[in-house]
């Protein structure tokens, strides 16, 4: 028996009698008014560290539009004839040539931050936007330098005087078939590395500062094979190896991975039809997109970085520091409006800017890896009308 005012544990409370503190006007979602807590994190998508800047020759200029690099070729040795004056060789050696790297137009990335949005938002906007702007500039920076290295690997030396031919760039085929899967073969890549190292040795390229940049899937393919071929030197084991830092060098060539090399006419991942690998899917526009037009005829470009069709079979780069040069007039920096401008527009523009140019320097120090029976051709002045 239940007494007045007592609580019967066997009775049920009617849900209609409950006070739903999270509902709007007692209807619909019973959690609608509850606070949505901000986790303090934003998905930053593709964040990459720019690596090319420290792997090539970098110069900074002021009060000029370009920078000149001077080449000197080999000279000759001869036996002295007794009684004959020594007035230098009769061939005008060593030959001298030049290479000019021009600054492209100002490269920018910007966003407008409305002051009211900042007031209402429960997370910090400006820092995140600044990071994304920095990533955009860094990606472009790497892409132009890597394309310049590939360009140099297809060129003859700027020193072209008769009887004084200097070595030019090198292209090494990966694999023996016409399948794109050769680009991911660890065995084929290791063989290509040794061919590239031998070629640079034979051309008198310094062994100091040699490095390679591969697509991530190529890089991890090498890691999986380190215990089998015994040819890859590494100083890391366990978790360091699994994190992608285990492969140190092949034939004295330090290896890096980047999504920004021109890989099979695309940036990111371009899977061959016979790779046997599981494609990740949902790649998005960034990963699967074609390389944008980098010809000198494009507004803003004063150097020729090629078009997507120039990299249809390109699948990796091996080079030494002298392979390419990047010239900066304005280093990467961020600017923010303030004062009257902020009052007029009730917000600020966050602007990242960069003024740089890149081109090959010493072709002998550049090696391009490619697949298929025919090596990619040098960049010309005429391009297909459908090149992108």
The domain segmentation of the chain, as residue ranges, is 52-74+94-274+288-370
Decide: 169 and 337 in contact? Cβ < 8 Å: no
pLDDT surpassing 90 at residue 375 = yes
In the three-class reduction of DSSP (H, G, I as helix; E, B as strand; rest coil), residue 333 is classed as: strand
Q: Quote the DSSP letter at residue 265.
A: T
What pLDDT does residue 33 have? 65
Q: What are the Cα distances from residue 104, in Å, to 64, 143, 152, 174, 303?
A: 12, 14, 18, 33, 7
pTM of the model: 0.80
Predicted confidence band of residue 180 (pLDDT cuts 50, 70, 90): confident
Q: What are the Cα distances from residue 214, in Å, to 21, 134, 189, 357?
A: 57, 23, 10, 23
Rounded to the nearest 10 degrees, the angle between the axes of helix 216-224 and helix 186-202 is 100
Q: How high does pLDDT run on average in the chain?
A: 78
Q: Of the ranges 37-46, 126-135, 162-171, 305-314, which one carries the lowest mean pLDDT score?
A: 37-46
241-247 long-range contacts (CB < 8 A, ≥24 apart) are 244/216, 244/219, 244/220, 247/219, 247/222, 247/223
- From CA 244, how far away is CA 255, in angstroms rounded? 10
Write the pLDDT tens digit of every residue in 302-323.
888 988 888 989 999 999 999 9
Q: Supply 3's token pair.
A: 């007494």
Strands (DSSP E) found in 222-375: 249-250, 253-257, 314-319, 324-336, 347-360, 366-370
- From CA 85, how far away is CA 81, in angstroms rounded? 9
Greatest CA separation found in the chain?
138
CATH of domain 52-74+94-274+288-370: 3.30.2400.10
Sequence-ordered list of residues with C-beta below 8 angstroms from that of 61, at least 6 positions apart, any chain: 67, 103, 327, 328, 329
H or E element at residue 288: helix 284-288
Q: Of the ranges 252-261, 333-342, 343-352, which one carries the lowest mean pLDDT score?
A: 333-342
Decide: 89 and 358 in contact? Cβ < 8 Å: no
Decide: 254 and 212 in contact? Cβ < 8 Å: yes
Write the pLDDT tens digit of every residue in 12-55.
666 666 666 677 777 777 767 666 555 554 444 445 567 888 89
**Count of other CB atoms within 10 angstroms of residue 187:** 15
If one compares 266 and 202, the residue with the highest pLDDT of the two is 202
pLDDT surpassing 60 at residue 244 = no
Length of the chain: 388
- From CA 149, how far away is CA 379, in angstroms rounded? 12
Predicted confidence band of residue 239 (pLDDT cuts 50, 70, 90): low
pLDDT surpassing 50 at residue 385 = no
């Amino acid at each position: 028996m239940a007494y007045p005012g007592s609580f019967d544990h066997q009775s049920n409370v009617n849900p209609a009698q409950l006070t739903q503190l999270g509902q709007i006007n007692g209807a619909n979602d019973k959690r609608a008014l509850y606070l949505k807590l901000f986790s303090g994190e934003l998905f930053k998508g593709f964040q990459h560290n720019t690596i090319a800047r420290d792997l090539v020759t970098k110069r900074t200029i002021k009060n000029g539009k370009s920078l000149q690099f001077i080449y000197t070729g080999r000279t000759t040795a001869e036996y002295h004839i007794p009684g004959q004056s020594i007035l230098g060789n009769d061939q005008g050696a060593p030959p001298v040539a030049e290479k000019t790297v021009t600054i492209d137009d100002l490269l920018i990335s910007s966003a407008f931050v409305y002051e009211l949005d900042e007031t209402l938002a429960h997370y910090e906007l400006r820092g995140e936007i600044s990071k994304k702007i920095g990533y955009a500039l860094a990606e472009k920076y790497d892409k132009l330098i890597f394309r310049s290295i590939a360009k140099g690997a297809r060129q003859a030396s700027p020193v072209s005087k008769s009887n004084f031919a200097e070595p030019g760039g090198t292209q090494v085929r990966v694999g023996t078939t016409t399948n794109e899967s050769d680009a991911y073969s660890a065995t084929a890549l290791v063989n290509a590395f040794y061919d590239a190292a031998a070629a640079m040795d034979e051309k008198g390229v310094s062994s100091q500062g040699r490095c390679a940049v591969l697509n991530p899937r190529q890089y991890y393919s090498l890691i999986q094979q380190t215990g089998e071929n015994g040819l890859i030197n590494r100083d890391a084991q366990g978790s360091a190896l699994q994190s992608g830092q285990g492969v140190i060098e092949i034939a004295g060539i330090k290896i890096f991975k980047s999504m920004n090399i021109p890989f099979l006419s695309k940036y990111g991942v371009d899977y061959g039809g016979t790779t046997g690998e599981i494609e990740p899917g949902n790649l998005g526009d960034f990963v699967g997109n074609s390389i944008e037009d980098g010809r000198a005829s494009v507004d803003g470009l004063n150097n020729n970085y090629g078009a997507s069709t120039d990299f249809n079979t390109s699948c990796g780069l091996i080079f030494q520091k002298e392979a390419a040069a990047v010239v900066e007039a304005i280093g990467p920096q961020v600017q923010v409006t303030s004062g009257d401008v902020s009052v007029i527009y009730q917000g600020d523009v966050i602007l990242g800017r960069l003024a740089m140019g890149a081109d090959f320097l010493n072709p002998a120090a550049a090696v391009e890896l490619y697949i298929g029976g025919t090596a990619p051709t040098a960049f010309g002045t005429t391009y297909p009308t459908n090149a992108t």
